[in-house]
Amino acid sequence: MNDIELIKLALKAKENAYVPYSKFRVGSALVTADGSVYTGCNIENASYSPTICAERTAISKAVSDGHREIKKIVIVGDSNFTYPCGVCRQVIREFGKDAEIIIANDVDNYRKYKLEDLLPHSFGPEDLSGGVEKSV
């Protein structure tokens, strides 16, 4: 799937954001190693801390379907270029050491990064002794 199509899906997912507290909508769309596509939105909670970001919603959907490698992930928020929070960067790191991250305002206004650009000198599964089995 190309970047523009993926940004369109993230914009569509953003419409489902459940944001009664912040009113800040975020959408995400990702592509896995086998080309599968998943989307997500942020989902807030009256108790605040259970809030889940759009990126982690999309990643949770992909992983729970058996996908463990993210190739590309788009984030579209309500601010001018919404970058992933620190928690989401670390979760992307778990499943996408070499992932491409697309921060988009719209289909014709976006920036591309590697996970390494946004989370340098990261800690990940390979750093644990023996590593982690990634196949399902």
What order do you get walking across the sheet with 27-32 strand by strand?
Answer: 37-41, 27-32, 70-76, 100-106, 109-114
Q: Give the length of the chain.
A: 136
Known active-site residue 55: yes
Distance CA 94, CA 3 (A): 22
CA quadruple 114, 120, 125, 128: dihedral, nearest 10: 160
Q: Which stretch binds ligand THU (CB under 6 A): 21-29, 62-70, 93-101, 120-128?
A: 21-29
26 binds ligand THU (CB under 6 A): yes
Q: Which stretch binds ligand THU (CB under 6 A): 52-60, 105-113, 116-124, 127-135?
A: 52-60
Kindly state the number of chain residues that form the binding site for ligand THU, as judged by CB under 6 A.
Answer: 13
Please report, as residue ranges, which positions from 72 to 131 form the binding site for ligand THU (by CB under 6 A): 84-85, 88
From 5, 15, 55, 116, the catalytic residue? 55
User: 44 or 115, CB closer to ligand THU?
Assistant: 44
Contact 115, 97 (CB under 8 A): yes
> Exposed, middle or buried by CB within 10 Å (0-12, 13-18, 19+), for 69?
middle
Catalytic (active-site) positions: 55
Site residues (CB under 6 A) for ligand THU?
19, 22, 24, 26, 42, 44, 51, 53-55, 84-85, 88
